[in-house]
Amino acid sequence: MKSIQELEKISSQVRRDIVRMVSRANSGHPGGSMSSADFLTALYFQVMDHNPQTWTREGHGQDVFILSAGHLTPVYYSILARAGYFPVADLGTFRKFGSPLQGHPSIRKGLNGITQASGSLGQGVSAAAGIAIGKKLDKEDKTVYVMCGDGESEEGQIWEAALFAAHHNLDNLVAMTDWNGQQIDGTTDSVAGNGDLQAKWEAFGWATIVADGHDMAAILDAFAKAKALRGKGKPIMILFKTDMGHGVDFMAGTCKWHGKAPSAEQCDAAMGQLTETLGDF
Amino acid sequence: MKQYTDSGKKDTRSGFGAGLLEAGKRNPNVVALTADLKGSLKMDAFADAFPERFIQCGIAEANMVGVAAGLAITGKVPFAGSFAEFITGRVYDQIRQEVAYGKTNVKLASSHAGITLGEDGATHQTMEDIALMRALPDMVVINPCDYNQTKAATIAAAEYDGPVYLRFGRPGVPNFTEPDAPFQIGKIYNMNEGKDVTIVATGHLVWEALQAAQVLENEGISAEVLDVATIKPLDEKALVASVLKTGAAVVAEEHNCAGGLGELVAGVLARTTPKPLEFINGGDRFGQTGTPAELMAAYGLDAAHIVAAAKAAIARK
């Protein structure tokens, strides 16, 4: 069991990793990585039943995580490295030629911990639903987690998957939405008006939970509620209310940092706002 | 020439259904998915025998491909089935990311391929699917010639570890290969040895090619007939050896000219064995409503057109 303070220390380091990785690569997606950093830290360091040493792509005997919003590799790789899936030093190779840390997740480069390719949006909930059925067929009492963005939820396939998972009573499936209200071209409401996502998921037959995605106690409470809802006949959606770019004042609350790299000077300024807790890569 | 007997017209989709049932009996990890086309894909017998391993996805093909990929990740061997257009063109990006790039052991079961599904017309008739699937790295593309071969190919696809596109059709077509003959992925089957021209055929046009070879033989022309049941990976060695021997070739397929077997064969021969080459295909066109026989004649996909193309190729030697 990790304390809230310990989890907050990890997520602070994860945010440093995100900004430094994207700045060094001079490309990548810091905004959504920072908005999802707290709940993904909680997921990997407290909630999920997993073991980096015995992990396999098949996922037998462990919980599984799928990153549907594949552009969020900065947060994903940082957390995987900090959790022990591969050396933290490898984060310095992010987006470099020959690196297993591809711009979007790949299963072809031998990177430990990656279950499925993603990047083309809207597809991860379907894959997670397939894994959830596989676990049911194998009578494996494990949970499949999948994370998607709120902008990503404009993809029609998300709602095909929503209908499917509810119809098949996939109550071993826990999805998370990073509800930061931003996407590349502006706010989600100004771009596509995706509105009340909780009401939509409820209408599709899911059990839903809404939580503050930057309050570690609220995040842990939401995951505890999700675990309590497992096996009750419905798939579960946790909608985490977040801010894009959270943790650095000049990056927060705007779509401008969705897919933009901070300069060296901006990176230094950001480091002044994020505490180094576990040692930089 | 070698004689083949049509044991009675059968639809190749029923060969798939029979092969799926057999694959399901042999391997408990085989599962089947459909997008509201269980009957059309002849999946009923599998669904009745293994109800817990049959997954109805509703009319949502994109989700179905993703679910199949997820099942494959857990070690299942999923066959995801729909009409050829809807299991390729409609879901190309899903196949690209979740199946091909994602290297998942998914079998895409593609029925009602080509124009010979008939009366439904052009929205349901794809002659672009081979091009789409061929373009994907690591995708195996299989287009069997009759019921028996489709059944065997389905069983072979289940035993192969990797993404497979398995193409078959709706109309009854002659069933002439040996029942329960083993199917080898990546092998060209030499159906008739000849010395004047090679007819390179795939799918049910192999039967048309054999009819054409008989007509040619009656006119004193010896035609070799190759059954390209696996389009990717292509058995280049068998192809090149045949064309080196005969010195001319015709490629016959129920597919448009762009990206099909014809262009594939032309590319191989241009590199290795440039010889006169003629093409039997749907051209650069959409389909239309009609009976399979009417459409095959109208689009030039029958034995008579293959005969003319063979003579044209020989004349250019």
Domains and CATH numbers, chain B: 10-173 (3.40.50.970), 189-315 (3.40.50.920)
Q: Indicate whether A271 pLDDT > 90.
A: yes
Average pLDDT over residues B199-221: 98
Whether A263 contacts A23, CB under 8 Å? yes
Instruction: Work out the mean pLDDT of chain B and round it to a whole number.
Output: 98
Query: How do residues A2-16 score in pLDDT, each as one tens digit?
Result: 999 999 999 999 999
**What's the pLDDT at A274?**
98
In whole angstroms, give the CA distance from residue A141 to residue B102.
25
Q: Which of B159, B146, B20, B10 is nearest to B81 (CA)?
A: B20
For residue A160, the chain B residues in CB contact (below 8 A) are: 58, 60, 62-63
Percent of chain B with pLDDT over 70: 100
In whole angstroms, give the CA distance from residue A225 to residue A228.
5
> Which of A59, A116, A137 shows the shortest C-beta gap to B102?
A116
CA distance A261 to chain B (A): 26
Query: How do residues A102-143 score in pLDDT, each as one tens digit?
Result: 999 999 999 999 999 999 999 999 999 999 999 999 999 999
Residue B123 carries which DSSP code? G
Query: How do residues B76-128 score in pLDDT, each as one tens digit?
Result: 999 999 999 999 999 999 999 999 999 999 999 999 999 999 999 999 999 99
For residue A157, the chain B residues in CB contact (below 8 A) are: 60, 62-63, 66, 94
Amino acid identity, position B315: A
| CB-based contact B75 A60, cutoff 8 Å | yes
Q: A29 to each of A73, A244, A254, A257, B189, how far by Cα in Å? A: 8, 11, 13, 7, 51
CA distance B97 to chain A (A): 7
DSSP SS3 for A161: helix
| CB-based contact A131 B101, cutoff 8 Å | no
CA distance from start to end of chain A? 25
Percent of chain A with pLDDT over 70: 100
| Closest residue in A to B138 (Cα–Cα) | A108
| Closest residue in B to A138 (Cα–Cα) | B74
For residue A130, the chain B residues in CB contact (below 8 A) are: 66-74, 78
Query: In chain A, which among 89-108 make CB contacts under 8 A with chain B?
Result: 106-108
Q: Indicate whether A190 pLDDT > 90.
A: yes
Query: How do residues B162-185 score in pLDDT, each as one tens digit?
Result: 999 999 999 999 999 999 899 999
Length of chain B: 317
Q: Indicate whether B195 pLDDT > 90.
A: yes
Q: Indicate whether B145 pLDDT > 90.
A: yes
Q: Indicate whether A74 pLDDT > 90.
A: yes
For residue A122, the chain B residues in CB contact (below 8 A) are: 62
> Which of B58, B60, B69 shows the shortest C-beta gap to A130?
B69
Percent of chain B with pLDDT over 90: 100
Whether B86 contacts B109, CB under 8 Å? no
For residue A164, the chain B residues in CB contact (below 8 A) are: 57-58, 60, 63, 67
Q: Indicate whether A1 pLDDT > 90.
A: no
**What's the pLDDT at B190?**
98
For residue A156, the chain B residues in CB contact (below 8 A) are: 62
CA distance A165 to chain B (A): 10
> Which of A116, A119, A168 shows the shortest C-beta gap to B73?
A116
In whole angstroms, give the CA distance from residue B55 to residue A78.
36
Whether B310 contacts B223, CB under 8 Å? yes
> Which of B64, B66, B76 shows the shortest C-beta gap to A134?
B76
Q: Which two tokens stand for residue B222?
A: 């010896």
Q: What are B's interface residues with A at a Cβ cutoff of 8 A?
A: 31, 52-53, 55, 57-58, 60, 62-76, 78, 93-94, 96-98, 101-104
- Which residues of B participate in catalysis according to the annotation? 61
Q: Which of B251, B247, B230, B226 is nearest to B301 (CA)?
A: B251
Q: Which of A160, A163, A167 to mutate to test the interface with B (most CBs of B within 10 A)?
A: A160
Give the position of tokens 């947060």.
A75
The domains of chain A, with CATH numbers, are 4-271 (3.40.50.970)
In whole angstroms, give the CA distance from residue A78 to residue B72.
27
Residue B149's CB is within 10 A of a number of other CB atoms, namely: 29
The values of phi and psi at residue B91, to 5°, are -125, 30
Q: Which of B226, B241, B235, B230 is nearest to B306 (CA)?
A: B226
DSSP SS3 for B114: coil
Beta bridge partners of A145: A65, A174
DSSP SS3 for B263: helix
Percent of chain A with pLDDT over 90: 99
| Closest residue in A to B74 (Cα–Cα) | A58
| CB-based contact A117 B98, cutoff 8 Å | yes
Whether B200 contacts B235, CB under 8 Å? no
Average pLDDT over residues B128-135: 98
Q: Which two tokens stand for residue B280?
A: 């039997």
Name B48's Cβ contacts closer than 8 Å, sequence gap at least 6: none
For residue B68, the chain A residues in CB contact (below 8 A) are: 130
Whether B230 contacts B200, CB under 8 Å? no
Whether A63 contacts A49, CB under 8 Å? yes
* pTM of the full structure: 0.97
